[in-house]
Amino acid sequence: DVIPIAVLFKSLAQLPPEGGEVVDYGCSRVIARGMKGRGRVEYEALMLNRPYKGLTNAQHRTGHSPSIGARMLYKGEIKKRGVFPPERGVEPKLFFKELAKRELEIRVISRELM
């Protein structure tokens, strides 16, 4: 039997000592399947991050995207106005280039499905 409180205490015992350095890595993954022409396709997108200038994994992955968007708005690189999802108004290649400058690596893999 798994006893949740026992798992919690075991996990807490394995934390690094207070003030110790935490080496934080992360990966976000999205898989989308659909039709392209007459065939079925699958796209897999991965965003990988490694330790970055004193930020935690979560700060690194989630903090840069809105910052990049705000800078793009300021520089006039986002032309669309109003409320919309990013995929409807942000140029992906430019956005991914900015992510790469901040050491966030994007990989996209496409597959034709049978």
End-to-end CA distance of the chain: 42
**Interval 3-26 mean pLDDT:** 86
Q: Decide: pTM greater than 0.85.
A: no
Chain segment 77-95, per-residue pLDDT in tens: 999 999 999 889 999 999 9
Please state, in angstroms and as integers, the Cα–Cα distance from residue 98 to each residue in 36, 68, 90, following that order. 28, 7, 12
Total structural domains within the chain: 1
Q: Which domain holds residue 92?
A: 23-113
Q: Is residue 2 part of a domain?
A: no
Q: Is residue 9 part of a domain?
A: no
The C-alpha atoms of residue 88 and residue 90 are separated, in whole angstroms, by 6
Q: Is residue 105 part of a domain?
A: yes
Give the three-state DSSP class for 50. Answer: coil
The C-alpha atoms of residue 90 and residue 69 are separated, in whole angstroms, by 8
Q: Is residue 34 part of a domain?
A: yes
Give the three-state DSSP class for 106. Answer: strand
Place of tokens 């200038």: 53
Q: Is residue 28 part of a domain?
A: yes
Q: Is residue 99 part of a domain?
A: yes
Q: Is residue 30 part of a domain?
A: yes
